[in-house]
Each structure stands twice: as C-alpha cells, then as structure tokens.
Chain A
Amino acid sequence: MGLVLVLLAAPLLQVLLVNRSPWGGPDLVALAVVWLAQSRGPVWGCVAGLAGGLIADVTPPADGTVGRTALVLAVTGLLAGGLQGRQLPEGRWREGRPWLVGAVAAALAVLLQAGAAVALGDEPWQAVVAALPWTLGWTVAHGTPVSAVLLRRRRSAAVAEPRVAMRRV
C-alpha cells in the first residue's frame, strides 16, 4: 500500500523537487515501479508500470507522446518482477539477488525511456544523451540499496508468519 502511494506521489515529487536540482536526480517513477515489481511480482510490476508511466506522461510540463513512459515502464516492471522471483519447471522457486535486480531494472528503465524518447522523436538525441549519465547514476544509486532493504523486510515478515503465508498458497 505504501509503495502504491509512493507511485502516485512520484511524478509530483519529480517535477516539484528532483528536477530543480542542477545536478540531475533519480527518476522516481521508474524506481517506484521497480520496487513494486520486486516486492509484489511481475503482474503488479506491469500494471504499476502502465499506471505510473501514464501519470508521468500527463503530469505537466511533460508534452511528449502519451503512453511512451507507460509502455516502457510496463515492460520494465514485468522484467523486474520476473527477474526477482520465478518458478522453475520442476516447481522450485528461484529468487534473484534484490540489490542486483534493483540495479539492473533501474538502469533498464532509464535507458529504455531515453531510447523511446529519441525513437518517437519527442526529444532531440543530444539533449537525451547529455542528461542520461546523471539520471542513470542517480537512479541506480537510489534503487540498489532501497531494493535490498525492502526485500529483506518482506522476507523477514514472511519468516515471522509462516502460517499465513502457507494458507495464502
């Protein structure tokens, strides 16, 4: 629930605070989607990506193609959730390292967004390339530790209440 609120507030915080900084800043919407995908799975990640991306697309002063960020973040959320935990054919559960998945998914989100912005002709490539290293660095730097902490908290909660977890399965 908390993460959903973060997702809804992220576009606003981005335009009010983060983008004011002259040294660039993290992409909060992408981070919120990655965190949701990691803690709730690929389907949640995909839906959250579409919703969060769509909000980011229509929050002024964005004036690019509507649905650009939505599509890119839906794909990112799907991949992030899939990398975090997936069922192997023989029925075992395979889990990725939270910090690694967080870092890879955050980087993927930023790169895909930059690529989509150039491919759809919304922004000139010089501007995208100039801003890319900063956004990439900030996003990965913020995504990695938070992913690790979030997943550890969720895991310890699951260990503390094994019965509830069993019943849900």
Chain B
Amino acid sequence: MKRTIVLLVLLAGVALVAVDRTLMPLTPLRSAGSTVYGTVQSAIGSVTRSVGGEARLRALEQENARLRALEQENLRLRSDLRSTGGKSQATARLQGVAAHVVGFGQGQKVTIDAGSAAGVVRDVTVFNADGLVGKVTWAGPATASVSLITDPGSSVGARMADSGELGVVTGLPGEGRLRLSLFDPNAPLRVGDEVVTLGSAGGRPYVAGLPIGAVERIESVPGAATRTALVRPAARLSALDLVAVVVPEPGR
C-alpha cells in the first residue's frame, strides 16, 4: 500500500515534468498559481504599502513626476527618430501600465501585480523612473513574472548615448552588474558613459532609448574581438517598487 502511494507520487512528478517539457506547457497550473499565490502576494504588497503612509506617498509622487519626464523624453526621442527617417518601431503605438513589484524569486526574477487582465503580455519592456528594469517572461491572470536585466540569461541590445556605438548588455551572475560588449573593438569608451537601449522591432522585448546604466569599469583584454566594460544599472534593481510596463495597444 505504502509502496503504491510512493510509486504513484514519483510517477506523478515525472509525468508533470515530461508533459510540461514535451507535450504542452501546463499553463492552467501556472495560472492557478498566479491566481492564488500571486493574488495573496499583491494583497500583502498593497497592505504593506498602505502602512507606509505619508512619506511613501510623497516618494511615489516624485517617482511619478520623474516617470512623466521620462515619458516626455521618450516621446521627443521617438519624434527625433521619425524625423531622421527612423525604423517602423518608432511609429509603433505603445502605452504604459503602472505596477508594483510584490515578490522576489530566486535568481533575478520578480513578480509584479499587473497581469494579462491589465493588458500585460510576455516579452515586453519593464522600466522605472531611473531606467530599464527587465522584461516580462510570463503573464498570468493577476500577476506577471519579470526577468531583470541582471539575470545571466538576459541580453539587451545597447547603444552608447554619446558615440552611438552599438553593443550588447548581458547580466553577470551574483554581482548586480552588467557586462557591455561593443561590436567595434576600437570604439571610444570612457568611465561614466551612458548606455541606452537600442530597441527592437515593434518595441518588443525592449523599446528604444531607455537608460540601461553607466560604464563603471573598462575591461581591457588585448586582442579581444569586442570591447567590454562593466556597467552599473541605472535602476536600483535590489530595491524595486513602482515600475511601468510597456504594453502593446489593444487591437493590434
């Protein structure tokens, strides 16, 4: 009897993994998890926020103002792009959804309290008042999972704000820093240079022109095919709260 139960349980475990990997993703189970445990996370998040009181409200208002400023700048950059004959992404219509970070996963993942009900879909940009935060990897009904740019699996197309050199920014494990690789090994690079997102077609997963961070240390490897540097993220990724998600406009 006992042996049967144990065998059944182990078989169930193997079956879950096999089905999720090969036959079909077990989305209903995930959605249930997002509905139950995600909703509890959001509820606890909003309770702890409301306890914070006046000082928090002021901080959020400031943050809001900075987000607006960022949005303005983004609009300006976009119109610049358009006037210089920019690509189709510049004309893609995008809108933002505000969300709070409520849960922290192992590794560089966080939960935000906006899901597909608010229009969030996978592979869209998440940013805050300081800069790029990451992208949505999975959107459940009430919550979404965001993979931060410091995740070792993340890579973001990047452009130097001043020189316009192109490159890639990847996450480094366990350090909270990013590695910038410029495609041109002889590109000029100085400590303190700003790195912004290059942007992808349609703004997914990353929209163009968001600050990623500033160069902190230049790594000189003689004979390397790319020029690499350590970048400190513009957004404080260890203390995230209010973020905005760029969502495609409904009906597109």
* Chain A interface residues (CB < 8 Å from chain B): 11-12, 14-16, 19-20, 22, 42-43, 46-47, 49-50, 53-55, 57-63, 65-68, 70-71, 74-75, 78, 120, 123-124, 126-127, 129-131, 135
| Interchain CA distance A12-B160 in the complex, whole Å | 40
| Interchain CA distance A63-B26 in the complex, whole Å | 11
State whether A60 touches B9 (Cβ < 8 A): no
| Interchain CA distance A131-B12 in the complex, whole Å | 29
Contact of A127 among B25, B32, B174 (CB under 8 A): B174
Q: How far is the CB of B103 from chain A (nearest CB, A)?
A: 4
Q: How far is the CB of B184 from chain A (nearest CB, A)?
A: 26
- Contacts A54-B16, A65-B20, A123-B153 supplied; 5 other A-B pairs, CB < 8 Å: A43-B6, A58-B37, A59-B38, A120-B21, A123-B107
Q: How far is the CB of A60 from chain B (nearest CB, A)?
A: 4
- Closest B residue to A123 by beta carbon equals B107
State whether B5 touches A127 (Cβ < 8 A): no
Most chain B CB atoms below 10 A, which of A49, A127, A129: A127
| Interchain CA distance A118-B98 in the complex, whole Å | 34
Q: How far is the CB of B32 from chain A (nearest CB, A)?
A: 7
Q: Which B residues are CB-close (under 8 A) to A15?
A: 41, 103-105, 111
Q: Is B225 an interface residue (CB 8 A)?
A: no
Q: Which B residues are CB-close (under 8 A) to A124?
A: 152-153, 173
Q: Which A residues are CB-close (under 8 A) to B9?
A: 46-47, 49-50, 74
State whether B152 touches A47 (Cβ < 8 A): no
On whether A127 and B10 interact (CB within 8 A), knowing A59-B33, A60-B111, A66-B20, the answer reads no
Q: Which B residues are CB-close (under 8 A) to A46?
A: 5-6, 9-10
Q: Is B97 an interface residue (CB 8 A)?
A: no
| Among B54-62, B141-149, B188-196, B200-208, the stretch in contact with A | B141-149
